[in-house]
Amino acid sequence: MAVPWSRCWRSSTGAAVLLQYCCISSRRAFTPAASAGRKAATSAATQVLFQQGHVHSFNKPVTLSRHRCKYLYSTPRVSCSLHSDAKLKDPFSLVQKDLQNIYDDIKQLLVSKAELKALCDYYFDGKGKAFRPMIVILMARACNVHSNKEGVLLPAQRSIAMISEMIHTASLVHDDVIDDSDKRRGKNTINNVWGERKAILAGDFILSAASMALARIGNTTVVSVLSQVIEDLVRGEFMQLGSKENENERFKHYLEKTFKKTASLIANSCKAVSILVNSDPEVHEIAYQYGRNVGIAFQLVDDILDFTSNANCLGKPSAADLKLGLATGPVLFACQQFPELHSMIMRRFSSDGDVDRAWQYVLKSDGVEQTNYLAQHYCQEAIRQISRLRPSSERDALIRLTELVLRRDK
């Protein structure tokens, strides 16, 4: 039986090294010297995992401790529960006014002929969670308070919140075409209603409108930061099409793909709003790392829900990832206990009965539990990062948000 993730983490196992590798390979640095240091640390982590052709097992201890990563763990580790000085702040109530007309404002940017507009407006119906705009606005206000701006939201910061939701929605439209999905957010997908060709064009049009809105902000650094999101989304989608033979490489591949497809948008959007109000690279890094860690945790929980929630709660069919041939965290952890999953993963669950068998193996394993523990780790790091900002209601709401990410059921 596999070693529980909590025990693995405390004993600095290979999986923990993979986490460290992913943390230090985010390609963000304060200075050239720091960048060089990160490359050295990444190289060291990689050598521990793959030295002399030997791949380190998840359940064997290694000498490299997570505390060696000086760039990521520069302050004491904090609990995933709220800190003593953080009052309970409801993230939704704090941004309710800012989000009130955000979908109507997005629709104003999607001016077009009737049919194309109907396609583009389909998901901007105001019924979404607006999770990404909420984080971006909270981060903007928290950074503003930190920079002595009294938390006043700048118009350009609100625009970035809108742009983040537009990029996210465009990616969903394209994903549904790639995956041939027929349900999204509890309703028929655009490709199911209007067909694949029109769905692709609608996704492209939303991206083009987001790009024009981004250009109007007039900050070249912000444009560069958010342009990275588009590249990451494409690269992440390509990564999702492949599988890794080696177990350690497979997990690292999964976490990197998770960052590119989900967390990059949140991380870079948070960084962008900090750039607009503060010139300190350390503040930019705090915002980026908070978004990165929350984004990865969000997707890990989403992968858990694919096994623990029913279709009515998710708004999409359960076991959807298995049916698409995807091995997510619960499956990868389960594979340690049930090696029979390895061949299924490599053939992407394409043989008759693979999906049902894999589902049963995951339920018999502690894969869900270990994935949840991994999500907790990322939330702990998000809290540690955001706690470095000056206290404010918005900062405390971001701390609170990490708990909500872990507890969500849809």
**364-378 pLDDT, tens per residue?**
999 999 999 999 999
Residue 151 pLDDT level (bands cut at 50, 70, 90): confident
Residue 93: how many other CB atoms lie within 10 Å: 10
Q: Is 315 left (phi over 0), alpha (psi -120 to 50) or beta?
A: left
% of the chain exceeding 90 in pLDDT: 59
Kindly report which listed range (28-37, 107-116, 191-200) carries the lowest average pLDDT score: 28-37
DSSP states of 9-21 as a string?
HHTTBHHHHHHHH
Q: Any idea which residue has 């000085």 for tokens?
A: 85
Taking the C-alpha atoms of residue 252 and residue 44, their distance in angstroms, rounded to an integer, is 15
**Residues 386, 388, 392, 395, Cα dihedral to 10°:** 0
Selected residue with higher pLDDT from 315 and 164: 164
Taking the C-alpha atoms of residue 21 and residue 376, their distance in angstroms, rounded to an integer, is 18
Taking the C-alpha atoms of residue 48 and residue 67, their distance in angstroms, rounded to an integer, is 15
Question: CA separation (Å) from 176 to 195, 199, 252?
Answer: 11, 9, 25
Question: CA separation (Å) from 406 to 30, 67, 232, 247, 301?
Answer: 30, 24, 24, 26, 7
Contacts (Cβ under 8 Å, ≥6 apart) of 146: 278, 283, 389, 390, 392, 395
Taking the C-alpha atoms of residue 119 and residue 207, their distance in angstroms, rounded to an integer, is 13
User: What's the sign of the alpha-carbon dihedral 307, 311, 316, 318?
Assistant: positive
Selected residue with higher pLDDT from 257 and 90: 257
Phi (first) and psi of residue 26, to 5 degrees: -80, 0
DSSP 3-state of 308: helix
Contacts (Cβ under 8 Å, ≥6 apart) of 81: 403
Contacts (Cβ under 8 Å, ≥6 apart) of 159: 213, 214, 216, 217
pLDDT at 313: 63
Tokens (6 digits) for 83: 């800190």
Contacts (Cβ under 8 Å, ≥6 apart) of 234: none
Is 0.75 surpassed by the pTM of this model? Answer: yes
pLDDT at 110: 87
Taking the C-alpha atoms of residue 364 and residue 341, their distance in angstroms, rounded to an integer, is 12
pLDDT tops 90 at residue 111: no
Distance of CA 128 to the CA centre of its chain: 17
**Residues 45, 292, 27, 261, Cα dihedral to 10°:** 100
pLDDT at 224: 96
Tokens (6 digits) for 331: 């499956």
User: What's the sign of the alpha-carbon dihedral 192, 196, 198, 204?
Assistant: positive
Residue 83 pLDDT level (bands cut at 50, 70, 90): very low
- Nearest in space to 259 (alpha carbons), one of 228, 285, 283, 287: 228
What is the gyration radius of the CA atoms in the chain, in angstroms? Answer: 21
Q: Any idea which residue has 């998840």 for tokens?
A: 58
